[in-house]
Amino acid sequence: MTMSRFGSTAYSVLDLCPILEGGEAAEAFGRAVDLARQVEPWGYRRYWLAEHHNMPGIASAATPVVIGHVAGATKTIRVGSGGIMLPNHAPLVIAEQFGTLESLYPGRIDLGLGRAPGTDPMTSHALRRDNHQNGDQFPALLTELREYFRDPVPGQRVRAVPGAGLRVPIWLLGSGGFSAQLAGELGLPFSSAGHFSPTNMLPGLEIYRKAFRPSAMLEQPYVMVGINVIAAETDDKAHYLATSHQQAVLQMLRDARGKLPLPVESMEGRWMPHEQAGVESFLKLSMIGSPATVRAQLDSFLEETHAEEVIINSMIYDHAARVRSYEIVAEIFRGRI
């Protein structure tokens, strides 16, 4: 691949606000602000935060609140949701929240939307209070939400204040074909959750591009893909750092979620063969290694996907090492590696 693809591909941050073993949520929010401030001058386009609930290792459940916290601590980087799980909320509430954010930080807020609950069924029920509002209602909820952002019309009884008339960019997020198809039909940008659903990534991108119809927002398809990247000075150090994420996924597969674990020298003896296969499948779309190794992996990935943008999740226990991983990625995209 020539330098032009790195130079023409945008790169962004996906932050789950990991809570570390031995740590608390307040510390995760402090690290988020520090990371956002450091990546801002490195050319990262966006800093997105994700809605997950009842997960001891993820602090960003109240996603709009954290978005405001990060946006208020930065100056130019776009801050948004990757994503808000729309069926968990009344569309009017989301319109008001993001209308407020856009009013506070004009031109810097993104609204990425998903249709999954972002949690387990029992917690989903606690969030939604009933079992009737689910992913099947997503298109109708999306239509209602978009109406609240349009200019108000005479006689309109319910308005989002603030929100009405504000041009908050809406993205659809997905790990399969449903949201890809819908995003294409509506002419919205699409973000594929390759960082946890790598098998469905390429089929989803194909569905989106085939279904795409130009809109007032987009004339051409725009794809962003979530990937995991753990970059360090050597391959060995990167693979050592990656064991924290591997252990976290292993906990999830065992239905024993916890805080992000310390890295270990080896995963050998920590998982059964079928568990190892499950973790490796979940994390298949991960670039792990030295700057040269990660550059080659990103090169191959961009050639395969032709993504306009990548959004990078780096679940690294040590904050300094996490910051350095994002710095290495920026150096790759800026042609310094």
Alpha carbon distance, N-terminus to C-terminus of the chain = 14
Share of the chain above pLDDT 90, in %: 88
- Whether 66 has a pLDDT exceeding 90, the answer reads yes
95 contacts 61 by C-beta, under 8 angstroms: no
Report the pLDDT value the prediction gives residue 131, as an integer from 0 to 100: 54
- Whether 132 has a pLDDT exceeding 70, the answer reads no
Place of tokens 């307040």: 26
Report the pLDDT value the prediction gives residue 116, as an integer from 0 to 100: 79
Which CATH number is 3-333's, of 3.20.20.30, 3.90.1150.10, 3.30.2420.10, 3.40.50.300? 3.20.20.30
Q: With bands split at pLDDT 50, 70 and 90, how would you rate the model's confidence at 80?
A: very high
Give the single-character DSSP code of 171. E
Give the single-character DSSP code of 14. E
Give the single-character DSSP code of 152. P
CB atoms within 10 A of CB 217: 14
Q: With bands split at pLDDT 50, 70 and 90, how would you rate the model's confidence at 133?
A: low
Mean pLDDT of 15-39: 98
Question: What are 242-274's pLDDT values in tens digits?
Answer: 999 999 999 999 999 999 999 999 999 999 999
Instruction: Enter the pTM of the model.
Output: 0.95
DSSP 3-state assignment of 195? coil
Q: To the nearest whole number, what is the mean pLDDT of the chain?
A: 94
**Cα 313 from Cα 16, distance rounded (Å):** 8
Report the pLDDT value the prediction gives residue 20, as an integer from 0 to 100: 98
Residues sharing a CB contact under 8 Å with residue 331, sequence separation 6 or more, in sequence order:
291, 337
Question: What are 326-336's pLDDT values in tens digits?
Answer: 999 999 999 98
